[in-house]
Amino acid sequence: MKWALKFNLTDNGIVEDANYMRQIKNNKSIQMKLMKFFPYVFIAFVGTLIISSCSKEYSLENGNGGKTASGTWEFNDSLKGYQGNMDTAYILGSGTNKELHLSGSSLTGNQNFNLILYSDTFKVGSYKASSFNSSFDFSAGGTSIYKAGQIYGEFIVNITSFSNNLIIGTFSGTVRDSANKTTTLKLGKFKSILAGASSAPTSSGVLGDSVGNCKPVTVNGTFIQGVTLTSINTVQVQATVTVPGTYQIFTDPVNGVSFSATGTFASAGVKNVILNGSGLPAFGGNQTFVLHFGTSQCSFVINFQSGTTLLNDYYPFTPQNDWTYGKAPGDSLLLKILPLPKVINGNSYSVMGEYYLHPTVFFDTAAYYRKVGNNYYIYEDVFSNSIANFDQPLFLESIFLKDNMPAGSIWQSNTATGNILGVPASFYYKYTILAKSVAAPVGPFNFSDVIKMKRDTYVNGSLLESGEYWYANRVGIVYVKNVSGEHFIGDYHIY
């Protein structure tokens, strides 16, 4: 049977086509696919990697600089070809969460090649970015030249031979270039000896000078109080690498902002690294950031221009605000505040729209939100949002967050009543503040002010489901752990 996305809404946003919705409720797989977003079913996250702006072009290099290669790689874009040596290949992780890393460099060593496959077992077959099975990054000096992943389009890696620790394959598909434009790579090939180690080598080295200053430092973009950082807000630092391998270089969160970069150093020596910024600056003035690389650290200062003084707002409902999350298998989900409010029962609500990003298509209204003082309200259809199978649409408004209450505070929503299979039933939520104003790393971000909430769902007085939901100040909901699993935010824009 084919299913169409069919939603008829009245002026109050209530679904009129009850028969269609009843069909959905009788088909569990379809119900899970079409269930609305807010904390009820939060779908798997794929971390979004921000591409730094760069206009320089790179071409095929010659000469291998005397390197001993464990394999080779090559690919073409629309104008030219690239090739180089594979420096290392290894499998990281165990069980159902394994990663196969293929890392190399161009023939002159100026560009880095990093191809990663994700699976519980690696064998001959296809690994698609749309199914979270592959990602690719081709970079120079810490800046991405080409990047592939689930959020950028379809990119396919084919392992054609895998025996005696020798892995051979091809790849092609859609990538984002250094100008954040979509292009296509083709004729990709790789061959490498797979290392026997079960874990990746970890790089080590030194940051900054002898007195702890990060030098040299290049700060890119304008930093303004009250303005969310974008992909142009980066910091270039220098690391002296003594042992090549994977790296994670990051700052502690300061002023609601942090910087980070991950990747692989293919060789030792002095390396320039681009740190991507994220967050929303709370204050103006000079702010000192401490940078970490293994056991080494240094510091640098950024001046934030005075701007808008930010108030506490753990779910901003300004029109055009958006949040991106992952959705398995192979989709991404975008939530966006629509430009026109909705008046329901005399109250004005911000309207949250849902969009599937592959392809981009408006799906439905997720819910209606409003904020009064320190209380955050949601007006939503329990019929289609909850795991309780009510027979008809059942609307309920509840306060899902109180940002001025201390940890340990508990409150309960109003009770909605309806029928389940013709039998009268009641429905309500109980909310508990687990933690208040705490720091929390989530996906690619480090949030400095988070409220952690617990929400229990009750039907006829019995606990049906419990979930944990985190709200970051001036960002919104960033983390969920409930019956559907553990899920993270990937990207957001607050205006």
Q: Which residues pair with 343 in a beta bridge?
A: 348
Please report how many Cα atoms fall inside a 13 Å half-sphere around the Cα of residue 2, on the Cβ side. 1
What 3-state class would DSSP assign to 74? strand
Question: What would the pLDDT profile of 206-215 be if each residue is shown by its tens digit?
Answer: 988 777 788 8
The structure's pTM equals 0.45
Radius of gyration of the chain (CA): 25
Q: Report the C-alpha gap between 357 and 354 in whole angstroms.
A: 10
Instruction: Report whether pLDDT(182) > 90.
Output: no
Q: Which residues pair with 418 in a beta bridge?
A: 425
What's the confidence (pLDDT) of residue 358?
53
Question: What would the pLDDT profile of 425-464 be if each residue is shown by its tens digit?
Answer: 999 999 999 999 999 888 778 888 999 999 999 999 999 8
Across the range 149-171, mean pLDDT stands at 82
Question: What would the pLDDT profile of 31-49 be if each residue is shown by its tens digit?
Answer: 333 333 344 333 222 222 2
Question: What would the pLDDT profile of 84-143 be if each residue is shown by its tens digit?
Answer: 888 778 887 655 567 888 888 887 778 889 898 888 788 888 898 877 788 898 888 767
Question: What would the pLDDT profile of 353-381 be if each residue is shown by its tens digit?
Answer: 887 765 555 566 778 999 998 999 999 88
Please state the separation of Cα 429 from the chain's center in Å.
28
Instruction: Determine contact, residues 157/135, Cβ cutoff 8 Å.
Output: no
Please state the separation of Cα 452 from the chain's center in Å.
19
CA-CA-CA-CA dihedral for 470, 473, 474, 479, to nearest 10? -20
Instruction: Report whether pLDDT(310) > 80.
Output: no
| pLDDT class of 303 with cuts at 50, 70, 90 | very high
> Higher pLDDT residue, 92 or 328?
92
Report the range of poorest mean pLDDT among 233-242, 305-314, 322-331, 350-359. 322-331
What 3-state class would DSSP assign to 25? helix
